[in-house]
Structure 1
Amino acid sequence: MAYSYKPHYFEEFEVGQTFQSPGRTITETDVVMHSAMTSDWNELHTNSEHAEERGFGERIVHGPMTFVQTIGMVMRIGILERTAFAFLGMNYMDLPNPVYIGDTVSVDIEVAETKSLESRDDVGLVIFETEMTTQEDTVVFQGDMKFFVLSSENTES
């Protein structure tokens, strides 16, 4: 399977298209950096004994970090390189299972909707159904990511 894709303009996206990111192993450093950046030092992420007592068996990755890693991996796919105009949010986001330090995660996305805008001719709306899974195919993130994507009809050569 190819993991590197060329940038896509709005007109190049079609409902049903799928893309996959390369895998990435979540490290101790990732968790420490996220904790430091957000000031979220919750013991589920930073205290092995506490996480074990809570039934997780070991420390887990922050839920918001799972989202941040997902959107980073969507961008790493390459289809939105220099064509993403704005991330507009999500209608839903689910974190059905925890990510653990040492898990290798990857992201699959599918174009769920494309919509031309009457109010703008420089961008179009693209909605991606997004799913992150671990090396064991455990789903750890699901959501619909909405982007304004540049139109090829209005780019400078």
Structure 2
Amino acid sequence: MGKGTVSADIRKRYPQVWLSVSATTRKPRPGEVDGVHYHFVSGDEFARMVSDHQLLEWAVVHGRNWYGTPRAAVEEQLSRGVPSLLEIDLAGARQVRAAMPEARFIFLAPPSWDELVRRLVGRGTEDEEERERRLATAKVELAAADEFDHVVVNDEVSRATDQIVALMGIRPHD
């Protein structure tokens, strides 16, 4: 019930919002589709994208895999006036803030630390070492929530979705 779940709910309930599709070097999880959930690329391809300045933001996430937002797609949507959402981490948000200071930044927070741990363990897609890496990253991210323009608590997916789209200037569904 994290960023991915809320993004999927936005995609489903608010089709007028364009969601960027990040590039990543990590392997797909069960059910993930290349080009829909992520652009799954090799390390060499990712490095080429970085060197060619094709990414708006990029970073190593959880100390292991590279993630980045393809620049051209974002710029195209914004130039057309399409409401756009990037699902990015703290390092990515800091890079986008530097590149696009006019953007609005929303921090999606868990209802509590215990709930965050429960969700991560319950997902069952990471081993213990990966969970520990993700929890260490989460501590750093939670400490930086005040860098964002808004904080939305993800205690219930549809409520978090409605709050985010309202902050984007879209009237939430009743």
Normalization by structure 2: what TM-score?
0.25
Structure with greater strand share of residues: 1
Higher fraction of helix: 2
Q: Which has the higher contact order (CA 8 A, sep 6+)?
A: 1
Greater gyration radius: 1
